[in-house]
Structure 1
């Protein structure tokens, strides 16, 4: 398949599929079962906070899979970034949208596409805790395999592992392109 944006086509030609759509779907289903074990008996629905923009495809799939497991969630979102369309993150976190729902005494599930070095997610988690969240858990579609993760951050629920390479698809972007690809790709060196 060819796309009208030349940069995305070029990236796909220089990439390998790391996880196809079926593998991703199976991982989401399995993750939902584990998350359901944590939240199924809660009287109040957990606050399911999608980290935009990358977390959107995964969050949609995960939310539906949680529904299949008998877990209701209350939707919210945030948009915080260090990347601003670049391939490496800057030092400062930019908040583009903070959740409008009060977090005090709520169980929060942060949902994102990838945990790479974790600086953004660490800042977001700390912000949630500062807002009085009773419990903050992290679910990511993928974790990048390397030893550069920020101290104090890890995902509680992980779908897949990806290599220490530039990855895109399934929410992750290649210069703001390719987020809606069903597979996860890695650029070849």
Structure 2
């Protein structure tokens, strides 16, 4: 991933619009946490953060969870220099036994779902009791993978290149508390 100058990042921010405010995002985290607390009460799941994008949504959600859980992370990608490929590369595969466990994957966005579906299919080989997926955003379009759905969704967003709340702009701006996109002409 190549470095972008501070001037280029600032220019991007000036030419962007906020699609979902930090207040709306915070409310979505509260709704998601309430759903997760009901679903996982008494189940003692393993919560797995899908790196890098899932880091911020997981960090926000975890402080609101009332059920007992263990934490872990995974890192798999199909992207090279912000371009999607067909190959799933495991950068860090879980080193915990998932057999008979309830697993909750937390990620930033359900876009086409290719990567998340491949992760779930791979983890199913370890015979967990259940695997559920939680994402902050669901991108609205008709290019989703077949036979795969996300179980918990915070917000829907238009079919645009978005960043903030874990999603990046060429490796930057994941830290923004709202959801942003370059202004459309």
TM-score, normalised with respect to structure 2:
0.93
When the two chains are superposed, the root-mean-square deviation of aligned CA atoms in Å is 1.4
Q: Distance in 1 between matches of 2:8 and 2:79?
A: 18
Residues 32-181 of structure 1 correspond to what in structure 2 (within 5 A)? 32-42=33-43, 45-66=44-65, 70-86=66-82, 88-181=83-176
2:30 corresponds to: 29
Q: What are structure 2's unaligned runs of at least 5 residues?
A: none
Structure 1 SS opposite 2:160 = coil
Cα distance, 1:158 vs structure 2: 0.4
- Contact 2:50/2:74 (CA < 8 Å) preserved in 1? yes
Q: Where is the strand percentage greater, Structure 1 or Structure 2?
A: 2
Provide, for residues 111-154 of structure 1, a one-character-per-residue CA deviation record: whole Å limited to 9, x for no partner: 00001000000000001111111101000010100000011222
Number of aligned positions between the proteins: 181
Structure 2 SS opposite 1:54 = coil
TM-score, normalised with respect to structure 1:
0.91
Q: What are structure 1's unaligned runs of at least 5 residues?
A: none
